[in-house]
Chain A
Amino acid sequence: MSPNSLILSRRRLLAGAAATTGLALAAPVVRAQPARHRVVILGGGIGGTTAAKYIALTNPGVSVTLIDRDRTYYTCPRSNDVIVGVHDMRTITFTHDAVMSRYGVTGVFGEIVGVDRDRRQVAMADGTRVPYDRLIVSPGVDLVYDSVWGYSEEVADTVMPHGWHAGRQTELLRDQLKAVPQGGRVIIVAPPNPYRCPPGPYERASMMAEWMQHHNPTGKVLILDPKNAFTKDGPFKAGWERLYGFGTDKAVLEWIPAAEGGLVSAVEPGTMTVEAAGGRIRGDLVNVIPAMRAGRLAGTLGLTNGDGWCPVDQSTFRSDLAEDTHVIGDACIAGAMPKSGYAANSQAKLVAHVIRAELAGEPLPVPTFANACYSLVGESYGVSIASIYEVDPAGEIVNVAGSGGVSPVDDAPNRPVLEAVYQKNWHRTFAADVFS
């Protein structure tokens, strides 16, 4: 029995008792509040921090605890700008302090070792136990290093960074880009689907190509891709043609899809060589973005399926595999929604409304979700995708028919400029919505 049904049945019992004995709602029994519902959130990234804030805002009587290893969070959005020096690390650095102080969220910082489901407690490495009635798990993604032979966490931390968890990895890529010799080659190994931030590899390649034009004009950026298509590829390629000579012999940026030998099976860190289906190639900077799966914590807690992702009821984000547990963000399987920070933020808000409805004994909310993403093809050239989602009768999250889509490819000269302006504004309002 879930704690909610326990609370509800207790309320019904009280109401029934009052009715049968003919008493008005006067007795101290009725005035006594049920114990505060305790929501514990595992993971203080974009999904988890949004959940903490919006669950507290939407459910004033609920106790909200946020647990993460770190007090500081670096957003992946705009980390590509940091790699090319448009901004420094401060732009993408946030803490949980404002969400804790403004909305009464309790922060617990340390390593989570597991969950005791019988006692409803989260076990911390220091021996602390955090009791819960409901868990929200937002563990992000884990990188599957061995999806590329020869790649490992150690290689990523030294010679071939992934840059897919922002922070130290972002700084490594930034420093290695500066060290590429004149006329050198950057190789970006793009990941297979599904993965965090579908346009990320292509935005990164674009930003690096622009950096090359300014600082290393004979250098090149090469994307090796296990896929034949990617999100926003129409407007991206149009931008590449306009800015980087894409498709000509003077191209600063090249994209090799799977059909042309782009699938990378192995890397050789000692010689900075990449083994692609189309042949071996050496890079001066090799950025390997390997396959992904749900964050390690999801696996530890038994929330993942055979593919490494978390199945959930897409109307409530309740885990299919564990009671009293919701999984949100990149780790969960959310129908048509991409693995993006915006999507995680939107899912967290729905869960806040699910909790309110369940505690009040009201019908579950009708789900609505949003995702919008501006990517930079150059510092002043943006492209976007936007979608609104609903849940179809089969329980699957789908795009609302007739809405959404990517930037049109047309001759409007101001469109890409405006989209780049919106990208910067979006990051500010988005980060404020999550962290303040």
Chain B
Amino acid sequence: MQTRVFPLVLAAALAVASPAVWTPAGAADGDRRPTPDLIAQNCATCHGMDGRVFTEAMPALAGMDPEDFVAAMRAFRDDRRPGTIMDRIAKAFTEDDVAALAAHYAALPADPLPQEAHR
């Protein structure tokens, strides 16, 4: 009995941590992918370090609900949500990448970083 319950619990825990555990779109089994930490550092250029900068145009990502994050990336990828460049960027990542990014940002504090030094 125990052996049957455990995988169910594990599956439920995984589902909470990353709501989109799908088959990767582009990556074959065993392919190493860039870490969410490195991918996220490239997002920082527009969305702020750790996704913690707010502007009129670009939303902060830190603390974002992971399901919303995944839904937004899928909508950009599938051209269902208009964007300036996110529609072109979202197409570059596998669903596993996006799930890992969603978990990465969900775990970060949602308060904005100070930006006073940049002028």
Contacts and interface: CB of A to CB of B under 8 A. Distances in A.
Interface of A: 54, 90-91, 93-94, 97-98, 102, 342, 345-346, 349-350, 352-353, 363, 365-370, 372, 374, 382, 384, 386-388, 390, 400, 402-405, 407, 415, 418-419, 421-422, 425-426, 428-433, 435-436
A422 B87 CA distance: 14
Contacts of B38: 349-350, 353, 365-366, 368
Interface stretch (B8-16, B62-70, B110-118): B110-118
B77 to A, nearest CB: 9
Given A366-B33, A429-B47, A431-B118, 10 more contacts: A90-B119, A97-B117, A102-B117, A353-B37, A363-B32, A384-B84, A402-B91, A403-B92, A428-B118, A432-B48
Nearest to A399: B92
Contact of A422 (B48, B84, B114): B84
B42 to A, nearest CB: 4
B55 interface: yes
A93 B88 CA distance: 31
Given A368-B34, A386-B85, A419-B84, A429 B92 contact: no
A425 B34 contact: no
Given A370-B89, A433-B48, A425 B42 contact: no
B118 A432 contact: yes
Interface of B: 32-35, 37-39, 41-49, 53, 55-58, 84-85, 88-93, 113-119
Given A91-B119, A366-B34, A421-B57, A429 B46 contact: yes
Contacts of A433: 44-45, 48-49
Nearest to A353: B38
B88 A404 contact: yes
A325 B25 CA distance: 36
Given A386-B89, A432-B53, A372 B118 contact: no
A425 to B, nearest CB: 4
A183 to B, nearest CB: 37
Nearest to A421: B57
Given A421-B57, A432-B48, A432-B115, A384 B85 contact: yes
A429 B41 contact: no
Contacts of A369: 42
Contacts of A102: 117
A435 B32 contact: no
Contacts of A432: 48-49, 53, 113, 115, 117-118
B45 A346 contact: yes
Nearest to A402: B91
Contacts of A98: 117-118
6 contacts: A349-B41, A366-B38, A386-B88, A418-B84, A426-B46, A436-B118
A428 B115 contact: yes
Given A370-B89, A372-B85, A388-B93, A422 B58 contact: yes
A388 B47 CA distance: 16
A427 to B, nearest CB: 10
Contacts of A349: 38, 41-42
B34 A365 contact: yes
B68 to A, nearest CB: 21
A370 B88 CA distance: 11
A38 B74 CA distance: 42
Contacts of B47: 429
Contacts of A365: 34-35, 38
A366 B88 contact: no
B46 A368 contact: no
B84 A405 contact: no
List of 5 A-B pairs having minimum Cβ-Cβ separation, nearest first: A388-B92, A98-B117, A403-B92, A436-B117, A368-B34
A372 B116 CA distance: 24
A91 B73 CA distance: 32
A98 B49 CA distance: 14
A403 B84 contact: no
A305 B88 CA distance: 34
A404 B87 CA distance: 8
Contacts of B44: 433
B49 A400 contact: no
Contacts of B46: 372, 425-426, 429-430
A346 B41 CA distance: 8
Nearest to B34: A368
Given A353-B38, A388-B92, A436-B115, A425 B56 contact: yes
A342 B33 CA distance: 22
B118 A405 contact: no
B38 to A, nearest CB: 5
Contacts of A428: 55, 115, 118
Contacts of A54: 41
B47 to A, nearest CB: 7
Contacts of A353: 35, 37-38
Contacts of A342: 45
A206 to B, nearest CB: 18
